[in-house]
Amino acid sequence: MQLSDIDNVLWMASALGELVLLSILIWRRTYQSFPVFFSWVAVIVLLEPTFYWLLNHLSPATYAKAFFALTFPQFLLEAAVLVEVAASVFRPAFKPAKQGLPNWFPIFVVVVMVVIGGIAFLVAAHLNAATLIHRRTFLVISATMAILRLVTFICIAACSQILGLGWKNHALQLASGLAFYAAVTLIVEIAHSHLRAGPDYSRQFFELDHLRVVGYLCSLYYWCYSFARQEAPRKEFNSKMSELLVSIAGTTKRQQTIVARKRK
C-alpha cells in the first residue's frame, strides 16, 4: 500500500514524539509514578515502526487483520492507564479513611469501571453500526476508549478543586491529553459513520482519519511539554471532604460490627 506524503509526515511526527516522550519519562523518572502509562508509551514506540513496515509490505486486507490483532492488547493497556490515572488522583483522598474502608470497595470500583465500559461500548457500537464480527470492529473499540477517556477526565476535572489538583499536576495533565484525543476521535467517528458508499469513500475516510492523528499528535506533544516540567505540589486536601470520607467509612464499619453481633 502506497502512503501519501502527508501520511509519511504524520508517521514521522508520531514516532518522533513518542520517542521524545519515552525519553522524558525515563529522564524525569515518571515511570515510578505512572508505570502503566510508561509501559503503554513503550509498547507504542515498539509498534509504530512495525505498523509502518506492515503497511508498506502487506495488502490492505492483511494489514487490517494484523493491525487489529496488535492494537487490541494496546487498548486493554490503555484501559489500565485510565485506572492508574484515577487511582493516582483519588488515592490521597482516601488516606484519612484508609483503615475504615470496606473490603468490597476495590471490587466496587472495578464493577463501576466495567459497567461504564459496557455502556460506552454499546454507545460506540450503535454509533458505528458495527458488531463484534464486523470489519469495522476496531472503530467501535476506538470510540469506546474515547468515551472512557472523556468519562475519566470529567470525573477528575469535576473533583479537581476538592482534591487539591492544579493544572500543573501530572495526573490531570495526562487525563486532559487523553480527553482531548478522545474528543477528536469521537468527532472523527461520527463523521465516519455518516460517510456514504461511493468512489470517494476511501479518500474521505482517510482524510478524516488524518484529523484523528493530528489530535493524537497534539496530545502527545502536550505530554512531552508537561512531563518535561516539574510537577506542581499538590494542594492540601479539602478538610470537609476528608471528614465526609471518614464519616462514611466509620458508618460502614459500625454497620459491619452490628451485623457481626447479630450473627453471633
* DSSP output for 89-146: HHTGGGSTTGGGS-TTHHHHHHHHHHHHHHHHHHHHHHHHT--TTSTTHHHHHHHHHH
Q: Under DSSP, is residue 237 helix (H, G, I), strand (E, B) or coil?
A: coil
User: Which three cell numbers mark 13?
Assistant: 511526527
Amino acid symbol at 132: L
- pLDDT per residue of the chain (264 residues) written in tens, 0 to 9: 567 788 889 989 999 999 999 999 999 999 888 888 998 998 889 888 888 888 777 777 677 667 766 777 777 788 888 888 888 877 665 554 444 445 555 456 556 655 665 665 565 555 544 444 455 666 777 777 888 888 888 887 777 766 667 778 888 899 999 999 999 988 988 887 787 877 777 788 888 889 999 999 999 999 999 999 988 776 665 555 555 555 555 555 555 555 455 555
Which of 17, 1, 14 shows the shortest CA–CA distance to 210? 14
pLDDT at 226: 94
| Summary count for the chain: helices (H), strands (E) | 8, 0
Distance between CA 13 and CA 255 in Å, rounded?
Answer: 57
pLDDT at 57: 79
**Can you give the C-alpha Rg of the chain in angstroms?**
21
CA distances (Å), origin 226, targets 45, 170, 217: 19, 7, 14
Domain 5-263's class? Answer: mainly alpha
pLDDT at 118: 61
pLDDT at 132: 44
Query: What is the residue extent of each domain of the chain?
Result: 5-263
Within 8 A by CB and 6+ apart from 120, the residues are: 143, 144, 147, 148, 151
Amino acid symbol at 29: R
pLDDT at 130: 43
pLDDT at 167: 77
pLDDT at 116: 60
pLDDT at 126: 59
Judge contact between 98 and 244, C-beta under 8 A.
Answer: no
Distance between CA 241 and CA 163 in Å, rounded?
Answer: 9
pLDDT at 23: 96
